[in-house]
Structure 1
Amino acid sequence: MRKAADVAEEAANSQTFAAVARAGYAVSGLLHLLIGVIAIQLAVGRSGEADVSGAVSELANKPAGPVLLWACFAACAALALWQLGNAILGYRHASDNKLTKRLSALGQALVFAALAATIMSFVMGQGQNSRESSSDFTATLMKAPFGIFLLIAVGAGIAITGVVFAVRGFRKKFTKDLSLSSNQSVHQFQLWVGVVGYIAKGIALFLVGLLVVIAAVRVQPEQSTGLDGGLKALKEQPYGPYLLAAVALGLIAYGLFLMVKAKTLRT
Structure 2
Amino acid sequence: MNTRTSSRTAARKVQDSRGLELLVRAGYAASGLVHLLLGYLAVQVALHRGGESDQSGAFTQIAKLPVGGAILWITVVGMFALALWLLIQAVLGIGSSSRKRWARSLVSAGKAVAYGALGATALTFAQGGRSSSSSSTRQASGRLLDLPGGPLLLGLVGVGAVAIGGYLVAKGVRQRFTRDIAVPGGSARRPVIVLGVVGYVAKGIAIAVVGVLFVVAAATVDPTKATGLDGAVRSLAALPFGQVLLVAVGLGLIAFGLYTFVRARLAHV
TM-score by length of 1: 0.93
Match of 1:137 in 2: 140
Contact 2:11/2:91 (CA < 8 Å) preserved in 1?
Answer: no
Within the alignment, does 1:182 sit opposite 2:185 as a pair?
A: yes
Within the alignment, does 1:173 sit opposite 2:176 as a pair?
A: yes
1:45 partner SS:
coil
Question: What are the within-5 Å matches in structure 2 for residues 1-267 of structure 1?
Answer: 6-90=9-93, 98-183=101-186, 185-267=187-269
CA distance in 2 between partners of 1:139 and 1:104 (Å): 26
- The code of the aligned residue for 1:224 comes to A
Q: CA deviation at 1:90?
A: 4.8
CA distance in 1 between partners of 2:233 and 2:112 (Å): 26
CA distance in 2 between partners of 1:121 and 1:216 (Å): 29
Moved over 4 A (4+): 1-5
Q: Deviations over 1:177-229 (max 9, x none)?
A: 1111112x210011101110111011101110001110111111111111111
Q: Deviations over 1:232-259 (max 9, x none)?
A: 1111111111111000000111111111
Identical-pair percentage: 40
- The code of the aligned residue for 1:68 comes to I
1:165 partner SS:
helix
Contact 2:90/2:109 (CA < 8 Å) preserved in 1?
Answer: yes
CA distance 1:182–1:129, change in 2 (3 Å):
same
CA distance in 1 between partners of 2:207 and 2:17 (Å): 34
Name the stretch that deviates more: 125-134 or 242-251: 125-134
Q: Deviations over 1:148-180 (max 9, x none)?
A: 100000001001110111111111111111111
CA distance in 2 between partners of 1:135 and 1:149 (Å): 16
Q: Runs of 5+ in structure 2 lacking a partner? A: none
Q: How many correspondences in the alignment? A: 262
CA distance in 1 between partners of 2:33 and 2:177 (Å): 19
1:167 partner SS:
helix
CA distance in 1 between partners of 2:28 and 2:67 (Å): 21
Q: CA deviation at 1:86?
A: 1.5
CA distance in 1 between partners of 2:123 and 2:190 (Å): 36
Q: Runs of 5+ in structure 1 lacking a partner? A: none
Q: CA deviation at 1:147?
A: 0.5
CA distance in 2 between partners of 1:182 and 1:239 (Å): 38
- The code of the aligned residue for 2:188 comes to V
Q: CA deviation at 1:7?
A: 4.1
CA distance in 1 between partners of 2:7 and 2:182 (Å): 32
2:116 partner SS:
helix
TM-score by length of 2: 0.92
Q: CA deviation at 1:122?
A: 1.3
